[in-house]
Amino acid sequence: MLQGLSGGNEMKVCVVGSTGHVGYVFEGLGQMPEVDIIAAAPGSKGENIESLCSTISRYGYAINRYGDYIRMLDMEKPNIVVVACYFGDHAKVSVEALKRDMHVFSEKPLATTYEDLDKLKQAYKNSNALIGGMFGLRYTPCFLTAKKVVEEGAIGEIRLMNAQKSYKLGNRGENYKNHKSYGGTIPWVGIHAIDWLYWFSGKKFLSVSASHSSMYNRGHGELEVSALCHFVMQDEIFGSVSIDYLRPSQAPTHADDRIRIVGTRGIIEVMNDRVFLINDEPREQPEMNMVSGKSVFADFINYIKGQSSLISAEDAFIVTEACLKARESADRNSIVFFK
């Protein structure tokens, strides 16, 4: 493999796992000639990285392939580790990278247990490296547009938010079928919507009531196919998150992501990848002109370089914790309060 192509600023990348959205890395590559993907390894027992390695090759990188990611990190000494293995193993891999002062670009959730999240935060505190999460939906044209409109004050103060994630189920691998490797549908699917509540409002979570069910999951073991969360945030702001894997196979898209944000001066909605605003100012039509999307990986590279990022490590920890609290609420059928 050709190292050092872009001189002293080169960013050597190792990929751990092929289960998450590694695609975010490839999407952003055109903007980042300094990035060099140098090696890959599975991050979870039983994970197959064949297809991942083929894809990396297709992008023109000749990589070393390892069976053991720890060995890969020690041998290759990358600047950045992309963590995209089974979700229950994210934190374990990230901790190993942070210990070695390697930056981590992790699939969400950053951890699937409180214990792992604590270990990860500790490793982050002791490390000279940064961690970023694959909160890729923030970077889409519709959500960037909605964020811009809200920041311009078009809806006034946010009071109420209704977020939705709806996916087609299809046939999911074994890693989705047990809690330990999967982590739960609230942390895996719901996290995006929970992130929106936090991102748009900029407020702290105070409490959550949640519910989830694995009934009618078409042979997917412990996988929950319906879930609902009720968050209370600072300033008496409330947010619902509806999550399901019941989107019919005939639906035109895989996902039906939505948010409706009710403010003191207006209401904005993201639906069907479009953005609609109604407020007290007359306008010819409620649909907003879209801003361009961005690359979440390019944003992470900028973050490493000391620029501000759309989502900080601290934010990613907060959103991950909110998911775990919501899952705990659903498991215990009681309100869970945030510290």
Residues 212-231 that bind a copy of itself (CB under 8 A): 213, 215-216, 225-230
CB of 163 to a copy of itself, least distance (A): 10
| Binder among 265, 272, 287, 305 for a copy of itself (CB under 8 A) | 265
Task: Answer yes or no whether residue 190 interacts with a copy of itself by CB under 8 A.
Answer: no
- Stretch of 34-42, 91-99, 116-124, 263-271 lying at the interface with a copy of itself (CB under 8 A): 263-271
In the chain, at which residue ranges do the beta strands (DSSP E only) sit? 11-16, 35-41, 64-65, 80-83, 103-106, 131-133, 158-166, 205-213, 226-233, 237-244, 258-263, 266-271, 274-279, 336-337
300 CB-near residues (< 8 Å, 6+ apart): 103, 105, 132, 309
Task: Answer yes or no whether residue 302 interacts with a copy of itself by CB under 8 A.
Answer: no
| Binder among 26, 238, 276, 338 for a copy of itself (CB under 8 A) | 238
Site string for a copy of itself, 320-339 (x = CB under 8 A): -------------xxx----
E strand or H helix that includes residue 98 = helix 90-99
Task: Answer yes or no whether residue 201 interacts with a copy of itself by CB under 8 A.
Answer: no
Nearer to a copy of itself, 45 or 254 (CB): 254
Tokens 């936090």 map to which residue? Answer: 198
Task: Answer yes or no whether residue 181 interacts with a copy of itself by CB under 8 A.
Answer: no
Instruction: Classify the phi-psi angles of 94: left when phi > 0, otherwise alpha if psi is within -120 to 50, otherwise beta.
Output: alpha
Residue 201 class from Cβ within 10 Å (0-12 exposed, 13-18 middle, 19+ buried)? buried
- Stretch of 6-14, 128-136, 191-199, 273-281 lying at the interface with a copy of itself (CB under 8 A): 273-281
| Binder among 10, 113, 162, 338 for a copy of itself (CB under 8 A) | 162
- What own/partner pairs with CB < 8 Å and gap ≥ 24 does 169-172 have? 169/217, 169/218, 169/220, 169/225, 169/245, 169/246, 169/247, 170/249, 172/220, 172/223
Task: Answer yes or no whether residue 253 interacts with a copy of itself by CB under 8 A.
Answer: no
Binding footprint of a copy of itself on the chain (CB under 8 A): 157, 159-160, 162, 164, 166, 207, 209-211, 213, 215-216, 225-230, 232, 235-236, 238-240, 242, 244, 246-251, 260, 262-267, 278-282, 333-335
